[in-house]
Structure 1
Amino acid sequence: MIKFTINDQVVEAQPGWTVLETARHYGLHIPTLCYHEAVSPSGACRLCVVELRDGDWSKVVISCMYPVAEGINIYTDSPKVQNVRRWILEMLLAQCPAAKEVRDLAAQYGVTKTRFKINDPNEDCMLCGLCVRVCEEVVGAKAISTVGRGAHKQVAPPYMQPTDDCVACGSCLTICPTGAMARRFDMLRGKPKVILGAGSK
């Protein structure tokens, strides 16, 4: 077991665990939007930042991907962490202003508006990639991808064409943290595959 501290509380973690996994094991809250236990972490939303301290030195790291190590000191809600999260939430409010989950979380940190440019006031997708990862890693269909770059990046089927690879399992709908996949689902799937039973012609 690996011993270290979170908010001055001594904790133990299995080798290979991340800071986030350890915090959740001990019931310590770290906000996330792009993380789900069923798929690999990506660090896309950055909301799970924590402060790693060593004497007078410190840095902010993303807890969903930062591996535990003996003797490290982690703080989950320090002033530095709160400041970084407010910046991240401002950027998310600009990226997906229609996402109620983002607005509610931002309000918890006192963020009610953003200084960044809003390209689409109706956008609710935060491009976290959870739908892409669950489709590939859990379902094995690879029917969803992120296409484009920068402000033009979006979740869509490969080559922007509805795909027969979608099995309409609904995993992407379930895992989506903002509900954005609900209005994209019909765009993703092509004609459902018909599986003929024995004796069918």
Structure 2
Amino acid sequence: MVTLTIDGREIQAEEGKVILEVARENDIYIPSLCYHEEVASYGACRLCLVEVASRGRKRLVTSCLYPVEEGLVVETSTPRVDSVRQMVMKLLLARCPDSRVVQDLAHRLGVDKTDFELEEGNYKCVLCGLCARVCEEIVGVSAISLVNRGVNRQVATPFYAFSEACIGCGSCAYVCPTGAISVKDVRDTRVITMPHVTMKFKLKRCRTCGSYWAPERQLEYVAKAAGLAADAFDNCPDCRD
């Protein structure tokens, strides 16, 4: 265990954890759009910046990447921190002016409008990378990824077309903080809509109750990975013995 100070509070934390994780465990608010405890930290949104004092000097660091250490002093809101966060929010408002999540977070951070020219298009994607990281690290298929650089950076499938690697699980939509990716089941079809492509997947029909309950691709993937028989998912969860 190490002892550190966050906003004047002395806190004990497990060595190896990052500042953002420890802050959340102690009900200390630090804004973030790209952090999720189940995947590797990425530091994309820069909203979780904090000011740390260590070994006699102060600096700004991303709290989702910076590990706690003995004697570390952390301030979650200082003039420097607030200024950078507000600049980031103005950029996000220019990119995603119609995103309710971005609007609400901007208001909480004291930003009600952007000084930058609004980007063309109705964007909701904030390029947090959560969808791509979950697809790679948790699901294990890497059906989507972040491509291009600078202003052309975006989340996409290969060649902006149906991804043969995608199993239709919808994990990307589940972790998306702004709703840029959506999942909808329409009778026997799952429809996943992303900014640049819409993909459709056939749903498995339960042989007992007849309901459509999961993408066939997803069930085949799980059965193969777990070494289960081909008929392991013939029944939906409600109809299994």
**TM-score scaled by length of structure 2:** 0.75
Q: What displacement does 1:165 show? A: 1.3
Partner of 2:46 in structure 1? 46
- Classify the secondary structure of the residue corresponding to 1:22: helix
Partner of 1:167 in structure 2? 167
Cα distance in structure 2, aligned partners of 1:56 and 1:38: 33
Cα distance in structure 1, aligned partners of 2:17 and 2:149: 32
Residue type matched to 2:114 in 1? T
Query: Is this contact kept in 2: 1:91–1:116, CA < 8 A?
Result: yes
1:20-66 per-residue CA deviation (whole Å, 9 max, x = no partner) reads 11111211111111111111110000111111135984211110000
Cα distance in structure 1, aligned partners of 2:125 and 2:102: 10
The Cα RMSD (Å) is: 2.2
Structure 1: 5+ residue stretches without partners: none
Cα distance in structure 1, aligned partners of 2:55 and 2:174: 43
Work out whether 1:11 is the aligned partner of 2:11.
yes
- Classify the secondary structure of the residue corresponding to 1:84: helix
Compared with structure 1, are the counterparts of its residues 149 and 190 closer, same or farther at alpha carbon in structure 2 (3 Å cutoff)? farther
Cα distance in structure 1, aligned partners of 2:196 and 2:114: 31
Q: How does 1:30-45 map to 2 (within 5 A)?
A: 30-45=30-45
Q: Which one has a bigger Cα radius of gyration? A: 2
Residue type matched to 2:197 in 1? M
Partner of 1:104 in structure 2? 104
Work out whether 1:184 is the aligned partner of 2:194.
yes
More moved, 5-14 vs 56-65: 56-65
Q: What displacement does 1:129 show? A: 0.5
Cα distance in structure 1, aligned partners of 2:196 and 2:111: 33
Structure 2: 5+ residue stretches without partners: 183-192, 203-215, 221-228, 232-241
Query: Is this contact kept in 1: 2:160–2:197, CA < 8 A?
Result: no
Count of residue pairs the alignment pairs up = 198
- Classify the secondary structure of the residue corresponding to 1:146: strand
Query: Is this contact kept in 2: 1:97–1:121, CA < 8 A?
Result: no
Query: Is this contact kept in 2: 1:144–1:188, CA < 8 A?
Result: no
Query: Is this contact kept in 2: 1:165–1:189, CA < 8 A?
Result: no
Work out whether 1:150 is the aligned partner of 2:150.
yes
Partner of 1:82 in structure 2? 82
1:53-105 per-residue CA deviation (whole Å, 9 max, x = no partner) reads 35984211110000111111101122222121111101111122222101111
Cα distance in structure 2, aligned partners of 1:40 and 1:77: 25
Work out whether 1:130 is the aligned partner of 2:140.
no
Work out whether 1:71 is the aligned partner of 2:81.
no
Higher relative contact order at CA 8 Å, sep ≥6: structure 1 or structure 2?
Answer: 1
Compared with structure 1, are the counterparts of its residues 63 and 38 closer, same or farther at alpha carbon in structure 2 (3 Å cutoff)? same
Compared with structure 1, are the counterparts of its residues 120 and 5 closer, same or farther at alpha carbon in structure 2 (3 Å cutoff)? same
Query: Is this contact kept in 1: 2:31–2:47, CA < 8 A?
Result: yes
Query: Is this contact kept in 1: 2:54–2:71, CA < 8 A?
Result: no
Q: What displacement does 1:191 show? A: 5.7
